[in-house]
């Protein structure tokens, strides 16, 4: 990322000393920036006079803003305006930064309150937390979200648009065991790390087994997925990396747990099985912390704990049956690429997607289809732009969005069962997961607003300044200060800790 002129917050007595960078790893992924040419003496004088005028003007505006907003800023409901990775603490034993990225699959935001979680609580109390959860990308499914977390890209751009999908050009099917690099676009974190001559280690993560670019899934540092491996063994293997000579310790590691997602699909989000699964994850975090402490490196390691999506309870009484649409249009089973919670339809040649979508919506809105009002069908290019789910041929032309907890099936069956699902619109709160950051690059006891998980890649690798914010000094104007204030991206909010507006 290019550098930009940014305001520097004044640390309080309780804060750690300011860090020179917000990157968690000691490299920058943007190699395209070049230093500006040296300005002339005359130019510097003009700039000095211009900036002095601007500063005076904005100082007056700033004083007025602070005066009139002081009452609001004292409101207890305001979020803490502290950054995620602003204050670095010195390393005590490791000679380089280390990031350990942990995923607890299906860890819905709020699960941490289901049962005592002293170890997760310790990370939260002494680290940084997304106060209202981490926002997944759409669709809120496991493979699209895990790969978005490590690439910083939306599914339409990194290629993993669903857990299962078909390439319309070749007819080939992607499934969760597909390791051909043609499916996996973008550059995941482990590839970024080795591109910079450093070591990465993955103990399970979607895409980590794919030999792509400079990443070869090395035997000692890359585990092929095996869900039967005990969680304890996974933690202990990661801990063993810290027994290597300091220069050999990978700078980036992943650790993955299937819980509590696998329980959630069977029993929903509110069941004693979920409570026990959350307690088990907490015990694994405790095992990790204890092992790092024994090695004297716990405070040196940047731990990022996330989930990929949330979970919501479903029951068969909340069904929408496609065969019920027959009076308006017949939707054969071979048109449907996924049913719930993401309805994806690709009509064969000769059928107009817009005509199919129109007739489906006509039937759903008629009041004659059971639960029809809880499904809305879109052409993919007409989906809300916030979903970022259009720019890929792998996405079928017709997408149906379901309301929370509802399901689509082809035909009506006699079964009556309840369970849990995810994959819904990422604006639904039950789809949110968790973000916790703990370590030398994270402020202690800080809360930040919710943000999308695509920002985690940037958090790990970059200085946190979007390229669009690069402002060369000689181009500075008074209006620049206003534009910069109004155009903060969510990445800026993560780093700067701005309250939501």
* Catalytic residue of the set 142, 202, 254, 461: 142
The H or E element that residue 52 is part of is helix 41-73
Q: Is the peptide bond before 260 cis (omega within 30 degrees of 0)?
A: yes
Q: Is the peptide bond before 341 cis (omega within 30 degrees of 0)?
A: yes
Gap between the Cα atoms of 30 and 468, Å rounded: 13
Please give the C-alpha separations between residue 104 and each of 66, 111, 313, 343, in angstroms, as whole numbers: 42, 11, 19, 26
Q: Reduced to 3 states, what is the DSSP secondary structure of residue 165? A: strand
Q: Quick one: tokens of 276?
A: 């026990």
Task: Return the beta strands (E) in 63-115 as ranges.
Answer: 98-104
Please give the C-alpha separations between residue 387 and each of 380, 425, 426, in angstroms, as whole numbers: 10, 8, 8
Taking Cα atoms as reference points, which of 39, 36, 61, 37 lies closest to residue 48? 39
Please give the C-alpha separations between residue 501 and each of 58, 82, 433, 470, 498, in angstroms, as whole numbers: 21, 15, 21, 23, 9
Task: Yes or no: say if 378 and 400 are a contact pair by the CB < 8 Å rule.
Answer: yes
Task: Yes or no: say if 402 and 338 are a contact pair by the CB < 8 Å rule.
Answer: no
Q: Quick one: tokens of 101?
A: 């990225």
Gap between the Cα atoms of 236 and 480, Å rounded: 51
Taking Cα atoms as reference points, which of 471, 464, 472, 470 lies closest to residue 489? 464
Q: Quick one: tokens of 244?
A: 């290597």
CA 148 to chain centre: 6
Task: Yes or no: say if 84 and 443 are a contact pair by the CB < 8 Å rule.
Answer: yes
Q: Reduced to 3 states, what is the DSSP secondary structure of residue 249? A: coil
Q: Reduced to 3 DSSP states, what percent helix, strand and coil does the chain have, rounded to the nearest 5?
A: 35, 15, 50
Instruction: Say whether 53 is catalytic.
Output: no
Catalytic positions are 142
């Amino acid at each position: 990322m290019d550098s930009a002129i940014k305001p520097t917050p004044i640390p309080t007595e309780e804060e750690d000393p300011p860090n020179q960078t917000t990157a968690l790893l000691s490299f920058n992924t943007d190699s395209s920036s070049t230093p500006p040419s040296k300005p002339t003496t005359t130019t510097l004088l003009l700039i000095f006079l211009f900036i002095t005028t601007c500063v005076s003007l904005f100082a007056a505006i700033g004083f007025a803003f602070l005066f009139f907003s002081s009452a609001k800023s004292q409101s207890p409901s305001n979020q803490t305006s502290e950054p995620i990775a602003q204050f670095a603490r010195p390393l005590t034993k490791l000679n380089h930064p280390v990031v350990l990225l942990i995923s607890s699959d299906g860890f819905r935001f709020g699960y941490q309150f289901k049962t005592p979680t002293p170890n997760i609580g310790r990370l939260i109390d002494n680290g940084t937390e997304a106060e209202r959860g981490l926002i997944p990308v759409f669709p809120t499914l496991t493979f699209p979200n895990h790969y978005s977390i490590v690439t910083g890209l939306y599914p339409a751009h990194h290629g993993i648009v669903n857990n299962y999908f078909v390439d319309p050009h070749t007819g080939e099917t992607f499934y969760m065991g597909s390791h051909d690099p043609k499916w996996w676009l973008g550059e995941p974190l482990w590839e970024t790390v080795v591109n910079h001559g450093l070591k990465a280690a993955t103990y399970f993560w979607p895409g980590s087994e794919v030999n792509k670019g400079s990443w070869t899934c090395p035997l000692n540092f890359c585990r092929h997925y095996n869900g039967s491996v005990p969680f304890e063994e996974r933690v202990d293997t990661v801990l063993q990396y810290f027994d290597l000579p300091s220069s050999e310790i990978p700078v980036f590691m992943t650790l993955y747990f299937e819980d509590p997602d696998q329980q959630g699909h069977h029993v929903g989000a509110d069941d004693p099985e979920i409570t026990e699964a959350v307690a088990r994850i907490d015990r694994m975090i405790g095992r990790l912390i204890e092992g790092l402490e024994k090695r004297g490196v716990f405070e040196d390691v940047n731990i990022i704990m996330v989930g990929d999506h949330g979970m919501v309870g479903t029951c068969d009484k909340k069904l929408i049956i496609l065969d019920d649409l027959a009076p308006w249009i017949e939707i054969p089973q071979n048109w449907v690429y996924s049913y719930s919670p993401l309805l994806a339809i690709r009509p064969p040649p000769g059928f107009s997607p817009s005509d199919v979508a129109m007739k489906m919506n006509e039937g759903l809105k008629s009041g004659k289809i059971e639960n029809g009002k809880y499904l809305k069908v879109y052409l993919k290019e007409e989906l809300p732009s916030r979903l970022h789910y259009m720019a890929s041929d792998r996405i079928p032309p017709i997408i149906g969005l379901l309301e929370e907890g509802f399901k689509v099936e082809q035909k009506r069956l006699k079964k009556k069962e309840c369970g849990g699902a995810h994959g819904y619109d990422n604006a639904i709160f039950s789809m949110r997961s968790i973000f916790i950051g703990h370590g030398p690059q994270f402020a202690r006891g800080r809360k930040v607003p919710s943000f999308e998980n695509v920002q985690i890649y940037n958090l790990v690798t970059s200085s946190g300044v979007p390229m669009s914010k690069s402002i060369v000094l000689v181009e500075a104007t008074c209006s620049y200060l206003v534009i910069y204030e109004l155009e903060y991206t969510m990445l800026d909010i993560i780093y700067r800790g701005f309250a939501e507006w």
